[in-house]
């Protein structure tokens, strides 16, 4: 099945070029150039992945990102011309899973998109439990279900992957680089802020007190690990 891509970008030349590349690579692209209509287009197209330009007329990319994230866990890859920490972190915090900085190479973009789409094809039955007694998290891997004290916690696919990666090897400390490779699919050095921001987002959803995490622990100077009972 060919994946549907919603491209939200106001630059017609770039959109057209993206269309050419995406079609060459076997995607089915749909375009929207106006921020105001992005959400309607999203509901109509029901894409498998969204490419979102951060600077848009009408409604900012950040707002669109939040709006989409509010109703769907669909992978969002930001296209950004800004590399400043504030912009990138703001984009990631508003719900984007990954970002590519303009001017990107087409192969780089395609690799990022495929990494976001390639997931959970044939997972074996697996039930993981992490966290200390009293606030344990249960993860049903094939069903994509995470529950805390019997209540389901809604996670985006990326957050789910991050949690599973940590939960599969409790007690092991994952460096940010290892997580970038396992979860995001980066083969080489990439932005470790991706990990920081997503761990924070994940903590906000699963921890009783995100300020004092018990499930995803920070190992100072090294990385993160899953808390065990």
Binding residues vs another protein (CB under 8 A):
11, 13-14, 17-18, 20-21, 24, 55, 79, 81-82, 84-86, 101-107, 175, 177, 188-189, 191-193, 196, 220-222
Query: By C-alpha distance, which of 17, 47, 13, 14 is closest to 30?
Result: 47
Nearer to another protein, 79 or 137 (CB): 79
Nearest distance from residue 25's CB to another protein, in Å? 11
Q: How many CB atoms lie within 10 A of CB 169?
A: 11
Nearest distance from residue 178's CB to another protein, in Å? 10
Nearer to another protein, 137 or 191 (CB): 191
Nearest distance from residue 192's CB to another protein, in Å? 6
Can you tell me whether residue 89 is helix, strand or coil?
A: helix
Nearer to another protein, 85 or 149 (CB): 85
Task: Report how far residue 61's alpha carbon sits from residue 79's, in angstroms, rounded to the nearest whole number.
Answer: 9
Task: Report how far residue 207's alpha carbon sits from residue 122's, in angstroms, rounded to the nearest whole number.
Answer: 29
Nearest distance from residue 77's CB to another protein, in Å? 14
The full DSSP string for 163-214 is HHHHHHSTTPPEEHHHHIIIII--SS---THHHHHHHHHHHHHH-SSTTS-S
Nearest distance from residue 200's CB to another protein, in Å? 13
167: left (phi over 0), alpha (psi -120 to 50) or beta: alpha
**H-type helices in 27-155, by residue range?**
35-45, 61-71, 85-93, 106-117
Nearest distance from residue 117's CB to another protein, in Å? 20
Nearer to another protein, 32 or 79 (CB): 79
- Residue pair 61/78 in contact by the 8 Å Cβ criterion: yes
Nearer to another protein, 69 or 203 (CB): 203
Task: Report how far residue 141's alpha carbon sits from residue 31's, in angstroms, rounded to the nearest whole number.
Answer: 33
Nearer to another protein, 147 or 196 (CB): 196
């Amino acid at each position: 099945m060919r994946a549907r891509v919603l491209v939200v970008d106001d630059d017609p030349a770039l959109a057209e070029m993206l269309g050419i590349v995406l079609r060459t690579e076997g995607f089915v692209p749909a375009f929207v150039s106006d921020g105001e209509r992005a959400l309607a287009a999203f509901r109509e197209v029901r894409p498998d992945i969204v490419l979102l330009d951060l600077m848009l007329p009408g409604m900012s990319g950040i707002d669109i990102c939040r709006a989409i994230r509010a109703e769907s866990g669909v992978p969002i890859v930001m296209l950004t011309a800004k590399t400043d920490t504030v912009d990138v972190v703001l984009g990631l915090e508003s719900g984007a899973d990954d970002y590519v900085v303009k001017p990107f190479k087409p192969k780089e973009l395609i690799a990022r998109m495929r990494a976001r789409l390639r997931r959970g094809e044939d997972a074996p039955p697996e039930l993981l439990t992490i966290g200390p007694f009293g606030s344990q998290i249960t993860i049903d891997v094939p069903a994509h279900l995470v529950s805390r004290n019997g209540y389901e916690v809604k996670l985006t696919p990326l957050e789910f992957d991050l949690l599973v990666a940590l939960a599969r090897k409790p007690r092991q400390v994952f460096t940010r680089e290892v997580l970038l490779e396992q979860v995001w699919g980066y083969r080489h050095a990439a932005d470790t802020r991706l990990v920081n921001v997503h761990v924070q987002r994940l903590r906000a959803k699963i921890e009783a007190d995100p300020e004092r995490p018990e499930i995803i622990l920070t190992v100072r100077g090294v990385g993160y690990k899953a808390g065990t009972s």
